[in-house]
């Protein structure tokens, strides 16, 4: 899960980034609207978090430009509780909003909801054959038994499970797992896949040679 | 305030009544005079005709015949011989009255010695009518009535002739003419008043329309008044529209200020909260960052309170003060902040500079300026405070070696919550708006300029004529 955070306030941005990373998100944080707009074209993200009060551009304008380029779920942060501002944000293409100051748990829940909705799911528990993932609790169970996973392993499994039976290329997985500028070992994805297969079932994740991986939704 | 409608109605009605009164009185006086002339002419004319008919050799019997013709019912003419009344025989047909008014016109004859010869009916009722003493017109009182009398002496027949008309005849005619003038006016008056009232009502209807348009509005409705008004109300409508526009601008500023204040308060609050959440989840530096958030919040709250106070207190209490000790004290106070960031802070220029200002406000102003300079200047940079006379005007300048401001922002940065972008520092965007507001109150003006190669200089220059203005 890779989030694009657009927040001009250094202190708040830092706090959100720290919190999201702890939750297993890779976070790319931009302080200016135009930087974020140029980033969205070149990188793969799961969700966008946008603060409407930016110094260089009007938040609404940024929202419009983002929407022109991307169908990704967008969550807006706003300090303005005037009804028109919130409605304006939703009408301009935001999927949801959070009013500052917000509860961290609420922010995380709303992020999960907008991403889930973007995938067309209604439940927060993702079930594929014998695999079940509870996004809210970060809990994974295989054949009814809980399995303990590392932060990156969980994130990797979630990305694969979100697009079952679809081949996800290795660079794309790397992209979704690690933020821009993060140090990534060349075999990092392979190592995490190896651990996942050991903890779950060897045939659950299928290696598509030379391209990447896919998750078999029929695996028992 | 009195009502325009009532005022117009009252004054116009009064004017109407007075004008009518004057017109009727004038008509009365003119009629009175003209009628008297007409009647006098008639009296003299008829007297001449009578004189022309008199036979110089007429005997008493001729006069007796004449008397019988002149007699009126109940008022027989009286014939005299040697000053004594002689009975007159009635005419066969008896006296006849052709018109009521005939009773008021009387003819009389006198002998040259003033003794009566023949007097018409009315002039012998209470003894003989006074004899004429000279020719011409005169007023005579007789038997309780006033008479207009014309007298002439006919030489041929050696006779005084007098013809008289009762004053009441003249008075009644004048009265009747006057009434005939007055009556239509009195009948027309209510109609005229009603018409005037309608016209006035229609005339001032646009005022009512305008006022009801303003009155009926909700407090939030700040549209321009655009319904057409007559020329005379154009100015008023223009002023109202100007006022509405100013009100709208003020409200819009207030609204933006509230929104901006919400942002400035909630953002550090959100940051504070998320860092506390992170700290609880075991983040090592998060607690430290939470403190930074608290400090920032505190600063914003303090600045908002300063602004609120400035908005409330409209007047300052200026006195002639020396800037140097105040500035020096504050520079010393902020010295640790500069030291912490390894910045070179110094105070140069005059050591005595008098301005007329409020000491407390100058303190707040300078503190914000210096605080801004230190905040936006990178570590190891330079901040210089200078007291000088610039073209004879007292001037306080704070210059730094920070990034300066984009040219486009130089004019706007004094607006509340306007903040230079892309800077890592967490300012609230209120500092310079406080400075600008304070400068205005001190009758000083604020100049911002970028320095080469980098840096910003902010000058506060006190106006020369401040002594006169205050």
pLDDT at res. B470: 36
Q: Which A residues 87-126 touch B at CB under 8 Å? A: 99-104
Contact A103/B424, CB-based, under 8 Å?
Answer: no
What count of other Cβ atoms lies within 10 Å of the Cβ of residue B454?
14
Which string of DSSP letters, residue by residue, matches A168-200? Answer: EEHHHHHHHHS-TT----TTHHHHHHHHHHHHS
Closest CA to B173 of B63, B36, B287, B72: B36
B292 interaction partners in chain A (CB closer than 8 Å): 11
**Chain A residues within 8 A of B278 when measuring between CB atoms:** 15, 18-19, 22, 104
Say yes or no: B424 contacts chain A, CB-CB below 8 A. yes
CB contact under 8 A, B420 and A55: yes
All residues at 6 or more sequence positions from B294 whose CB lies less than 8 Å from its CB, including other chains = B272
Chain A residues in contact with B277 (beta carbon < 8 A)? 15, 19, 104
3-state secondary structure of B365: helix
Question: Which two three-digit tokens encode residue B314?
Answer: 């409209």
Rounded to the nearest 10°, the torsion over CA B192, B193, B196, B200 is -170
- pLDDT tens profile A184-216: 788 888 889 999 888 888 888 888 888 889 998
Provide the 10 A C-beta neighbour count for residue B167. Answer: 17
Rounded Cα distance, B311 and A208, in Å: 69
Distance (Å, whole) CA B294 – CA B277: 14
Please give the Cα distance from A75 to A93 (Å, whole number): 10
Alpha carbon of residue A120 to chain centroid: 15
Query: Residue A117 — very low, low, confident or very high, per pLDDT cuts 50/70/90?
Result: confident
- pLDDT for the residue B307: 76
Chain-centroid distance, C-alpha A38: 19
Does B196 touch chain A if contact means CB atoms closer than 8 Å? Answer: no
- Per-residue pLDDT of B37-61, as tens digits, reads 999 999 999 999 999 988 888 888 8
Nearest residue on chain A to B259, judged by CA atoms? A80
Residues A173, A152: Cα–Cα separation, whole Å: 11
User: Looking at the complex, does the CB of residue B375 fall below 8 Å from at least one CB of chain A?
Assistant: no
Quickly state the pLDDT bin for B125 (edges 50, 70, 90). Answer: confident
- The per-residue pLDDT for range A84-96, each reduced to its tens digit, is 777 888 888 889 9
β-strands B78-81, A168-169 pairing: unpaired
Task: Give the model confidence (pLDDT) of B184-212 as tens digits.
Answer: 888 988 899 899 999 998 988 888 888 88
> Helices (DSSP H) in A55-206: which residue ranges?
59-69, 83-91, 104-119, 151-162, 170-177, 188-199
User: In terms of DSSP H, where are the helices of B204-230?
Assistant: 205-215
pLDDT > 70 fraction of chain B, expressed in percent and rounded:
91
CB pairs under 8 A between A and B: 91
SS3 content of chain A, % helix, strand, coil (to 5): 40, 20, 35
Confidence (pLDDT) at B153? 93
Short-list A3, A29, A20, CA closest to A104? A20
Whether A35 and chain B come into contact, CB under 8 Å, resolves to no
Chain B residues touching residue A18 (CB < 8 angstroms): 274-275, 278, 283, 286
Could you tell me which residues come within 8 angstroms of residue B445 by beta carbon, excluding any fewer than 6 positions away? B439, B460, B461, B463
Nearest to A55 among B286, B421, B424 (CB): B421
Chain B within 8 Å of A130 (Cβ-Cβ)? Answer: no
A47: its two tokens: 């969700």
Give B 280-319 residues with CB within 8 A of chain A.
Answer: 281, 283, 286, 289, 292-293, 296
CB of A140 closer than 8 Å to CB of A132? yes
Quote ipTM for the complex.
0.73
Q: Are A28 and A47 in contact (CB under 8 A)?
A: no
At B327-382, the pLDDT tens digits run 999 999 888 889 988 999 999 999 999 888 888 888 888 988 898 888 888 888 99
Q: Which of B353, B315, B313, B309 is CA-nearest to residue B470?
A: B315
Closest in A10, A53, A56 to B263, CB measured: A53
Mean pLDDT of chain B: 84
In percent, the amount of chain B with pLDDT more than 90 equals 27
């Amino acid at each position: 899960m890779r989030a694009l955070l657009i927040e001009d306030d250094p202190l708040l941005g830092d706090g959100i980034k720290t919190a999201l990373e702890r939750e297993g998100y890779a976070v790319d944080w931009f302080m200016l609207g135009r930087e974020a707009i140029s980033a969205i074209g070149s990188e793969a993200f799961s969700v966008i978090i946008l603060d409407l009060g930016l110094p260089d551009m009007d938040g609404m304008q940024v929202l419009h430009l983002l929407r022109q380029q991307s169908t990704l779920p967008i969550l807006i942060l706003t300090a303005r509780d005037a009804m028109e501002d919130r409605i304006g944000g939703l009408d301009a293409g935001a999927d949801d909003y959070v009013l500052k100051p917000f509860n961290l748990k609420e922010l995380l829940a709303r992020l999960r909801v907008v991403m889930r909705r973007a995938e067309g799911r209604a439940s927060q528990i993702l079930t594929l054959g014998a695999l079940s993932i509870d996004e809210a609790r970060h809990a994974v169970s295989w054949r009814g038994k809980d399995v303990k996973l590392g932060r990156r392993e969980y994130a990797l499994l979630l990305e694969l499970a979100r697009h079952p039976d679809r081949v996800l290329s290795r660079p794309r997985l790397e992209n979704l797992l690690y933020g821009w500028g993060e140090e990534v070992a060349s075999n990092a994805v392979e190592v995490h896949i190896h651990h996942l297969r050991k903890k779950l079932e060897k045939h659950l994740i299928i290696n598509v040679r030379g391209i990447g991986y896919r998750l078999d939704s029929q695996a028992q | 305030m009195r009502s325009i409608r009532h005022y117009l109605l009252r004054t116009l009605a009064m004017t109407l009544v007075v004008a009518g009164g004057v017109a009727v009185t004038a008509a009365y006086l003119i009629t009175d005079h003209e009628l008297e002339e007409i009647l006098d002419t008639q009296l003299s004319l008829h007297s001449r005709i009578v004189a022309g008919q008199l036979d110089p050799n007429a005997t008493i019997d001729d006069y007796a015949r004449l008397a019988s013709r002149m007699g009126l019912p109940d008022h027989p003419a009286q014939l005299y011989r040697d000053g004594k009344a002689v009975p007159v025989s009635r005419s066969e047909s008896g006296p006849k009255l052709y018109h009521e008014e005939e009773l008021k016109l009387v003819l009389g004859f006198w002998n040259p010695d003033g003794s009566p010869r023949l007097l018409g009916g009315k002039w012998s009722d209470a003894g003989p009518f006074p004899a004429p003493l000279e020719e011409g017109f005169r007023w005579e009182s007789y038997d309780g009535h006033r008479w207009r009398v014309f007298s002439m002496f006919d030489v041929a027949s050696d006779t005084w002739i007098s013809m008289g008309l009762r004053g009441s005849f003249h008075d009644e005619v004048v009265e009747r003419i006057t009434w005939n003038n007055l009556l239509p006016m009195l009948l027309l008056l209510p109609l005229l008043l009603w018409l005037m009232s309608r016209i006035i009502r229609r005339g001032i209807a646009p005022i009512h329309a305008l006022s009801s348009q303003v009155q009926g509005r909700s407090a939030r409705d700040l549209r321009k008044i655009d319904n057409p008004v007559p020329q005379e109300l154009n100015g008023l409508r223009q002023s109202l529209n100007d006022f509405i526009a100013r009100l709208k601008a003020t409200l819009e500023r207030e609204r933006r200020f509230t929104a901006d204040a919400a942002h400035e308060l909630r953002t550090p609050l959100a940051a504070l909260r998320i860092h506390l959440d992170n700290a609880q989840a075991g983040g090592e530096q998060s607690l430290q960052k939470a403190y930074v958030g608290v400090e920032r919040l505190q600063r914003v709250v303090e600045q908002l309170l300063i602004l609120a106070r400035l908005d409330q207190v409209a007047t300052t209490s200026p006195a002639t003060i020396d800037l140097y000790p105040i500035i020096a004290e504050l520079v010393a106070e902020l010295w640790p902040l500069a030291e912490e960031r390894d910045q070179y802070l110094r105070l140069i220029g005059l050591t005595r500079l008098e301005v007329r200002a409020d000491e407390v406000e100058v303190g707040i102003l300078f503190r914000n300026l210096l605080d801004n300079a230190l905040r936006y200047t990178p570590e190891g940079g330079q901040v210089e405070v200078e007291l000088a006379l610039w073209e004879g005007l007292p001037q306080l300048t704070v210059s730094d070696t920070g990034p300066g401001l984009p040219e486009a922002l130089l004019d706007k940065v004094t607006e509340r919550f306007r903040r230079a972008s892309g800077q890592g520092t967490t300012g609230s965007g209120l500092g310079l708006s406080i400075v600008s507001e304070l400068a205005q109150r001190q009758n000083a003006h604020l100049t911002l300029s970028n320095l080469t190669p980098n840096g910003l200089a902010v000058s506060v220059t006190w106006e020369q004529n401040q002594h006169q203005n205050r």
